[in-house]
Structure 1
Amino acid sequence: MSSGIVLVDKPGGMTSHDVVARTRRLAGTRKVGHAGTLDPMATGLLILGLNSATRLLTYVVGLDKEYTATIVLGADTTTDDAEGETLTVASPAAISAVTEAAIAAGITALSGDILQVPSSVSAIKVNGERAYARVRAGETVELKSRPVTISAFEVLETRRGEDRIELDVRVECSTGTYIRALARDLGAGLGVGGHLSALRRTRIGPFMVGDAASLEDLAPAQQLIASASAAAMLFPTVTLDAQRAVDLGHGKRIGLEGFPETSGPIAALAPGGRLIGLVSAGSTTARCIVNFPTDAAAEDSPEGPAQS
Structure 2
Amino acid sequence: MSRRRAADADVPPGVLLVDKPGGLTSHDVVARARRVLSVRRVGHAGTLDPMATGLLVLGVGAATRLLGHLGSSDKVYEATVRLGQTTVTDDREGEVLTTTSAAHLDDDAVRAALAGQTGPLQQVPSAVSAVKVDGRRSYDRVRAGEEVVLEPRPVTVHRIDVHRLTRPTPDLVDVEVTVACTAGTYVRAIARDAGAALGVGGHLTALRRTASGPFTTAQAAPVEEAAAALAAGGGPGVLALPDAATAVFPERRLTAEEATALGYGQRVAATGRAGLTAAVDPGGRLVALVEDAGSTARVAVGFPW
The letter of the residue matching 1:107 is L
Corresponding residue of 1:300: none
Q: Equivalent residue of 2:156, what SS? A: strand
SS, match of residue 96 in structure 1:
coil
What is the distance in 2 between the residues matched to 1:56 and 1:217?
22
Corresponding letter in the other structure for 2:277: I
The answer to whether the 8 Å contact 1:6/1:220 transfers is no
Give the 5 Å matches for 1:71-110.
Answer: 71-91=81-101, 95-110=102-117
Question: Which digits, 9 at most, give the CA deviation of each residue in 1:272-303, with x for residues without a partner?
Answer: 11000011123322111111002xxxxxxxxx
Of 47, 61, 78, which aligns to 1:68? 78
Indicate yes or no: 2:38 matched with 1:24: no
Distance 2:225 2:37 in 1: 13
Aligned residue for 2:92, secondary structure, equals coil
Q: Deviations over 1:210-263 (max 9, x none)?
A: 11002463324233311111111111111111111111101111224xx3x311
Secondary structure of 1:144's aligned partner:
coil
What's 1:303 paired with? none
**Alignment match of 1:127 (pick from 122, 129, 134):** 134
Q: Provide the aligned length of Structure 1 versus Structure 2.
A: 288
Q: Does residue 1:159 correspond to 2:166, yes or no?
A: yes
CA contact (8 A) 1:23 1:220 kept: no
Contact 2:32 2:224 in 1 (8 A): no
**Aligned-partner residue type, residue 213 of structure 2:** G
State the partner residue of 1:192.
200
Pick which of 128-137 and 211-220 moved more: 211-220
User: What amino acid is aligned across from residue 113 of structure 1 in structure 2?
Assistant: P
Aligned to 2:278: 267
Out of 187, 205, 211, which is 1:203 matched to?
211
- Structure 1 equivalent of residue 155 of structure 2: 148
- Closer, same or farther in 2 for the Cα pair 1:265/1:186, shift >3 Å? same
After TM superposition, the score normalised by the length of structure 2 is: 0.92
Structure 1, 40-49 or 219-228: larger mean CA deviation = 219-228
Query: Can you give the 5+ residue segments of structure 1 that lack an aligned partner in the other structure?
Result: 295-308
Q: Which amino acid in 2 is paired with 1:270?
A: D
Judging changes above 3 Å, is the alpha-carbon distance between structure 1 residues 251 and 229 closer, same or farther for their aligned structure 2 residues? same
List structure 1 segments (4+ residues) > 4 angstroms apart after TM superposition.
Answer: none
Q: Deviations over 1:35-62 (max 9, x none)?
A: 0111111000000001001001010111
Q: Which residue pairs with 1:115 in the alignment?
A: 122
Partner of 2:53: 43
Which SS does the other structure have where 1:195 is aligned?
strand
Secondary structure, aligned partner of 2:32: helix
Hey, what does 1:279 align to over in structure 2? 290
- 1:245 partnered with 2:252: no
What SS does the aligned partner of 1:268 have?
Answer: strand
1:152-177 alpha-carbon deviations (Å, 9 max, x no partner): 11111111131211111100001110
Give the conservation status (yes or no) of the 8 Å contact 2:85–2:200. yes
Contact 1:254–1:285 (CA under 8 A) maintained in structure 2: yes
- Which amino acid in 2 is paired with 1:237? E
Q: Hey, what's the Cα distance between the residues in 2 that align with 1:267 and 1:180?
A: 34
Unaligned runs of 5+ in 2: 1-10
Task: Provide, for residues 186-214 of structure 1, a one-character-per-residue CA deviation record: whole Å limited to 9, x for no partner.
Answer: 11111111110110000000000111002
The amino acid across from 2:126 in the alignment is S
Instruction: Report the TM-score, using the length of structure 1 for normalisation.
Output: 0.91
- Distance in 2 separating the partners of 1:281 and 1:146: 29
Q: In the alignment, which residue of structure 2 is the partner of 1:288?
A: 299
Question: Hey, what's the Cα distance between the residues in 1 that align with 2:86 and 2:68?
Answer: 34
Percentage identity across paired residues of the two chains: 51
Q: Which residue of 1 aligns with 2:225?
A: 217
Matching residue of 1:298: none
* Counterpart amino acid of residue 47 in structure 1: V
Match of 2:8 in 1: none
